[in-house]
C-alpha cells in the first residue's frame, strides 16, 4: 500500500480504514506512543502500538530520528490535541538512528539554539521551527509565481554569469577558470582575461534587472525569480552573499504605477501565506512570543505575528519623499540626542537601517515607501527628475526589516543615460545593448527587486536571515 501524507491523514475522520504512513520518529513514549512526522505538516501523527505484539528487536530500533513505516487503522484518538491516530498492526524500521549518536545532534528532543541549528543545517529541517519556515518559504515562492502569472507577467530567466555590474556597486564575485596561482598576464602585468573561459572578465550576477528590462521592451510585463550574489562584507542579520530576488519590470509603468504594483504584490503574497500556512504561522507566532519573553519590554513587538501580517494587508503603505524623510529624521529624538550611530546632518545622506526602522517602527508605524532619492546615492539607471538632483527611486521599508524592496523608474532618455554612465564610470562598451533599448522605441518603464529572504523573515517572524534559507552563504561561511 502507498503511504499517505500525514497532513492528509490528520484531516480524516476516524474511519477504521487501513492506512500506511512513513516518516521520522520524533518521540517514542512508554514503548507505546510513537510521534511520527513526515514533513508534510508541522503536526505529528500519534501511532499506538501494543508492545506485547511486537518483537523486542523492532521496538528497540524505534528511536528518535529513525525512519519507519507503520501500517494500521485510523481510529479516534484517546489523547488530546488530535482527532485521529493510527492503531499500528505492523511497523518496519526503514533506517535506524543510534540514540548515542542522536544525542550529539539537534535531533535530540530538547531546546537547541538557532546557532546550534545552523551548525547542523543538514538536519535542521527536521526541527519544528525550521520545517515550518521552509514550508512557508515554499508557499511564498508559489504565491509569487501565482501573482505574476495571474496578472499577465512572463517569467524570465536572467543569466547567472554576466559581464556587467547591474548595480554599479562593484560587489561582485568573479567567475573564472584561470589558474589562480599562475594566471596568464598581459605585458603590463595585469591578468589576460582573453585567455579566460569567456574571453573576458565575468562575475556572478548581482541583479537580473538590466536583462529583464530588455525583455520588458518586447514582452511588456516580465518578472525574474532567481539567485543573486553580492560580495558585500556585511555580517548582519539581513544580508546574505547569495539571496533570491524577485524582479518585475514593466513597460510604460511610471514610478507611481511601480509603487502600486509593489504594494499590491506584497499584500497578495502575505495574504496567501495567511490563508495557506495557518498551522505553521500559528506555531511561528508562539515561537516568537516565547523568544520575546527574554527581551526587555521596550524591544518586544506590540503585535503578534499574524496581527502584524494582517496589519500590512489592511493599511495603505505610507508614501513619503526622501526630502520629507530627512526632515523627519533630522528633527527626531534619536538624532537630536545622538542615539543614531550615523547622525543625519544634511540632505543627501544615505539612509542606514536604523533610520529606515525609525521611520517605519516609531514615526509612521506602518510600511513606508520612500521615493525621489538623491541621484548621488542611487544606481546609474534611475530616471533623473526635472530638479536634476533626485531620481525616481523607491524603497519599500518594513517593520523589523528595513528595506525589503528597492526599485525605480528607469532612465529612458538615451542622452541622459549616456551622460550618467560616463559620470559614474560605467562602461558604454559593456552596456551598449542596454543603451540600444533607448535607441529603438524607448519608453517609460519601471521595476523593482524584492529580497525574497527578507520577505520570508517578515512573514515568519524569524530574527536572522540565516534561518530562512536552506544553506546560507555569508562572509566566512559556505558550508554544505
Ligand atoms: O536595492 P537592491 O540592490 O536593488 C536592485 O538590485 C535592483 N536592481 C532591483 C530592481 O530594481 N530590479 O536590491 C533589491 C532588494 C533589496 O531591497 C533587499 O530586499 C534585497 O534585494 N537585498 C538583499 N537581501 C539579502 N541579502 C543581501 N545582501 C541583499 N541585498 C539586497
Ligand atoms: Mg537597495
Question: Ligand 1 pocket, 168 CB below 6 A?
Answer: no
**Residue 154: strand, helix, or coil:** strand
Question: Ligand 1 pocket, 403 CB below 6 A?
Answer: yes
Q: With a cut of 80, say whether residue 156 has pLDDT above it.
A: yes
**226 close to 447: Cβ distance less than 8 angstroms:** no
pLDDT the model gives residue 168 = 82
* Residue 20 β-bridge partners: 71
Place of cell 529541517: 125
Extended beta strands in 331-444, E state: 368-374, 390-398, 402-409
Q: Which residues surround ligand 2, an ion (CB under 5 A)?
A: 406
Between CA 424 and CA 406 the distance in angstroms is 20
- Ligand nearest to C-alpha 455: 1
Q: What is the CA radius of gyration of the chain?
A: 27
**375 close to 382: Cβ distance less than 8 angstroms:** yes
Would you call 318 exposed, middle or buried from its count of C-beta atoms within 10 A (0-12, 13-18, 19+)?
middle
- Percent helix, strand, coil in the chain, to 5, is 35, 25, 40
pLDDT the model gives residue 449 = 98
Ligand 1 atom closest to the CA of 245, numbered from 1: 21
Domain 6-105 has CATH 2.40.50.140: yes
Mean pLDDT of 6-31: 95
Mean pLDDT of 268-287: 98
Mean pLDDT of 113-137: 97
Cα 232 to middle of ligand 2, angstroms: 13
pLDDT tens, position by position, 61-73:
999 999 999 999 9
pLDDT the model gives residue 327 = 97
Question: Ligand 1 pocket, 207 CB below 6 A?
Answer: yes
Cα 246 to the center of its chain, rounded Å: 10
What distance, in Å, lies between the first and last C-alpha atoms of the chain? 35
Mean pLDDT of 439-467: 98
Question: Ligand 1 pocket, 248 CB below 6 A?
Answer: no
Mutate to test the pocket of ligand 1, among 406, 448, 469 (most ligand atoms within 8 A of CB): 406
> What sign results for the dihedral spanned by CA atoms 296, 297, 298, 301?
positive
Mean pLDDT of 425-450: 96
Q: With a cut of 90, say whether residue 182 has pLDDT above it.
A: yes
pLDDT the model gives residue 444 = 98
Question: Ligand 1 pocket, 404 CB below 6 A?
Answer: yes
Closest CA to 226 of 9, 451, 461, 47: 451
Question: Ligand 1 pocket, 243 CB below 6 A?
Answer: yes
Question: Ligand 1 pocket, 230 CB below 6 A?
Answer: yes
Place of cell 542622452: 415
Cα 101 to middle of ligand 1, angstroms: 41
Q: What percent of the chain has pLDDT over 90?
A: 94
pLDDT tens, position by position, 317-331:
999 999 999 999 999
pLDDT the model gives residue 243 = 98
Q: Would you state the cell numbers that stand for residue 182, as one nine-digit string? A: 599562475
Mean pLDDT of 428-443: 96
pLDDT the model gives residue 5 = 98
pLDDT tens, position by position, 131-140:
999 999 999 9
Question: Ligand 1 pocket, 447 CB below 6 A?
Answer: yes
pLDDT tens, position by position, 217-259:
999 999 999 999 999 988 999 999 999 999 999 999 999 999 9
Between CA 69 and CA 25 the distance in angstroms is 10
Q: Whose CA is nearest to atom 4 of ligand 1?
A: 406
Region of poorest pLDDT, from 158-172, 176-190, 262-276, 388-402: 158-172
**258 close to 250: Cβ distance less than 8 angstroms:** yes
The torsion angle over the Cα atoms of residues 313, 318, 319 and 323, rounded to 10 degrees, is: -150
**What's the topology of domain 128-171+206-467?**
BirA Bifunctional Protein; domain 2 (3.30.930)
DSSP structure string for 394-417: EEEEETTTEEEEEEEEB---HHHH
pLDDT tens, position by position, 342-370:
999 999 999 999 999 999 999 999 999 99
Ligand 1 atom closest to the CA of 404, numbered from 1: 19
* Domain residue ranges of the chain, discontinuous segments joined by +: 6-105, 128-171+206-467
Cα 356 to middle of ligand 2, angstroms: 12
Mutate to test the pocket of ligand 1, among 245, 370, 400 (most ligand atoms within 8 A of CB): 245
Q: With a cut of 80, say whether residue 1 has pLDDT above it.
A: no
pLDDT the model gives residue 170 = 79
Q: With a cut of 80, say whether residue 389 has pLDDT above it.
A: yes
Amino acid at each position: 500500500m502507498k503511504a499517505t501524507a500525514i497532513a492528509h491523514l490528520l484531516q480524516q475522520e476516524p474511519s477504521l480504514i487501513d492506512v500506511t504512513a512513513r516518516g521520522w520518529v520524533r518521540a517514542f513514549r512508554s514503548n507505546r506512543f510513537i510521534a511520527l512526522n513526515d514533513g508534510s505538516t508541522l503536526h505529528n501523527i500519534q501511532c499506538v502500538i501494543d508492545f506485547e505484539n511486537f518483537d523486542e528487536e523492532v521496538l528497540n530500533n524505534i528511536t528518535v530520528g529513525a525512519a519507519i513505516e507503520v501500517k494500521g487503522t485510523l481510529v479516534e484518538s484517546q489523547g488530546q490535541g488530535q482527532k485521529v491516530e493510527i492503531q499500528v498492526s505492523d511497523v518496519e524500521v526503514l533506517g535506524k538512528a543510534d540514540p548515542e549518536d542522536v544525542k550529539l545532534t539537534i535531533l535530540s528532543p530538547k531546546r537547541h539554539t538557532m546557532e546550534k541549528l545552523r551548525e547542523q543545517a543538514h538536519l535542521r529541517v527536521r526541527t519544528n521551527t525550521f520545517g515550518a519556515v521552509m514550508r512557508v518559504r515554499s508557499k511564498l515562492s508559489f504565491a509569487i509565481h501565482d501573482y505574476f502569472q495571474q496578472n499577465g507577467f512572463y517569467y524570465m530567466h536572467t543569466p547567472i554569469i554576466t559581464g556587467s555590474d547591474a548595480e554599479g556597486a562593484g560587489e561582485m564575485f568573479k567567475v573564472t577558470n584561470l589558474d589562480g596561482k599562475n594566471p596568464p598576464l598581459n605585458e603590463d602585468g595585469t591578468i589576460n582575461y582573453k585567455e579566460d573561459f569567456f574571453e573576458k572578465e565575468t562575475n556572478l550576477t548581482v541583479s537580473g534587472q538590466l536583462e529583464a528590462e530588455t525583455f520588458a521592451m518586447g514582452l511588456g510585463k516580465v518578472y525574474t525569480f532567481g539567485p543573486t550574489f553580492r560580495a558585500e562584507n556585511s555580517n548582519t542579520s539581513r544580508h546574505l552573499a547569495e539571496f533570491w530576488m524577485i524582479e518585475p519590470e514593466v513597460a510604460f509603468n511610471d514610478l507611481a504605477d511601480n509603487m502600486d504594483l509593489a504594494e499590491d504584490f506584497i499584500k497578495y503574497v502575505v495574504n496567501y501565506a495567511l490563508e495557506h500556512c495557518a498551522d505553521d504561522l500559528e506555531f511561528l507566532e508562539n515561537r516568537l512570543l516565547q523568544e520575546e519573553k527574554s527581551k526587555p519590554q521596550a524591544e518586544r513587538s506590540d503585535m503578534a505575528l499574524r496581527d502584524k501580517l494582517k496589519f500590512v494587508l489592511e493599511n495603505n503603505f505610507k508614501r513619503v519623499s526622501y526630502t520629507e524623510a530627512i526632515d523627519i529624521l533630522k528633527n527626531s529624538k534619536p538624532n537630536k540626542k545622538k542615539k543614531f550611530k550615523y547622525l543625519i546632518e544634511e540632505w543627501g545622506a544615505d539612509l542606514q537601517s536604523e533610520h529606515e526602522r525609525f521611520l517605519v517602527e516609531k514615526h509612521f508605524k506602518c510600511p513606508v515607501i520612500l521615493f525621489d532619492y538623491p541621484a548621488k546615492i542611487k544606481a546609474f539607471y534611475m530616471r533623473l527628475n526635472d530638479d536634476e538632483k533626485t531620481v525616481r527611486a523607491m524603497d519599500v521599508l518594513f517593520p523589523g526589516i528595513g528595506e525589503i524592496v528597492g526599485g525605480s523608474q528607469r532612465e529612458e532618455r538615451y542622452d541622459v543615460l549616456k551622460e550618467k554612465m560616463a559620470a559614474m564610470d560605467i562602461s558604454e562598451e559593456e552596456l551598449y545593448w542596454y543603451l540600444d533599448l533607448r535607441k529603438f522605441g524607448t519608453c517609460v518603464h519601471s521595476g523593482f527587486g524584492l529580497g525574497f529572504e527578507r520577505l520570508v523573515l517578515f512573514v515568519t517572524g524569524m530574527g536572522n536571515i540565516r534561518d530562512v534559507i536552506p544553506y546560507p552563504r555569508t562572509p566566512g561561511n559556505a558550508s554544505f
